[in-house]
Structure 1
Amino acid sequence: MIDALFGSKTRVKLLHLFLNHPGQSFYVREITRIIDEQINSVRRELANMLEVGVITSDSADNKLYYQVNQRYDYYTALRAIFANEPINSTKPALTSDEAVSEQYTTTIAAIPALRLAVLSGVLVKGSTSDVDILLVGSLPAAKVKAAVALIEKNEGRELNYSVMPYEDFYYRLSVRDKFITEILASKHNVAIDKDNVLSQK
């Protein structure tokens, strides 16, 4: 039984709820009504799931809300189990950061006027950055969204990405802006650098 595999019936119900509603938040009493379990049991399992990182929490209107952590290492595998979402079997096995960069460069390069693209976060093993993709240039929003959506589909999760004009990026790089510095200080891959601005650093 899957209950035995994952520890408890309550935990299984919680995983099923969260993994079938990525991006949606629930508060405790709402959760107890939906999964029909005792509130103490729900609170105990929520605490356990928070500790391992499979869910996140945030407070609003004096309530604590919970949702699945799409940046969790085993998010895609859990979605395959609890949300019946097949793992993309056509996705090539990636054995290095360079392979990750190579896989997505073609998709990103299709964005007109793109001058710089940096991959980090969940797209680069060992990265601690909160930003997964940094795109620099005067870029059409629709093209950016389309490219990111393709990568998100392949990854099976939402990505955090940032877009900024080249002049803004270059200035923030030159003054060692915290946002830029944190991305570049973490493990990352420079997918595109048409002006060789990062190779000079």
Structure 2
Amino acid sequence: MIDKLFGSRTRVKLLRLFLTHAEEKYFVRELARNIEEQINSVRRELNNLEEMGLLVSHIEDKKKYYKVDPEFVLLNELRALIFKSRLTTEKEFIHSIRGLGSIQYLALMGYFVNDQEAKVDLFIVGTVSRTRLLKLLEQFRVSFGTQLRFTVMRGDEYHYRKDVTDKFLYEILNANKIVVIDAFTTPQDSTKTNDAAHKTIQALQAGQRDQASAE
């Protein structure tokens, strides 16, 4: 839908990348590799976005770099639109993850909850198709310019690590996260987990809106 709104798949990919990494700077070939689009198409859309005022450029080490202009008048509105689009894409991503196999536990961390200290972004317990998982992660990287870190454990490995108080596992379990699937808790605990996840998502959305308004 958002592709039709902006009229260009390349432009949408660039907007997602720049608006979710607003402090970063990129040169043309780097962008073409990141979003996997033809360099001429990327260069054309960069020129359009610079003429629009969203991006500014400068020459550094004989390369032309682009980054978001924080003074752009419609920056907050574009961020809000891309954020809503991101939520839709993430829901589709989660739905696809569910279909990868038999999953007993699925948690979104790191990137999904704005926690830069997290060890991973995606934690899965169960049996999944690694080939299909890697394909999904690559599609996500192309869409958002972010390489998600992930860990997959079998159920028996999860229980063993939990029994021996494995440091890595407990860092994950104690981290800020959104639990999507949890077959290890009782129905009552599961309800509490889902309520907590819902509140976390609401808080993140509110925080994103507050940040956009402040900027």
- If the length of structure 2 is used for normalisation, what is the TM-score? 0.46
The structure with the largest helix share of the pair is: 2
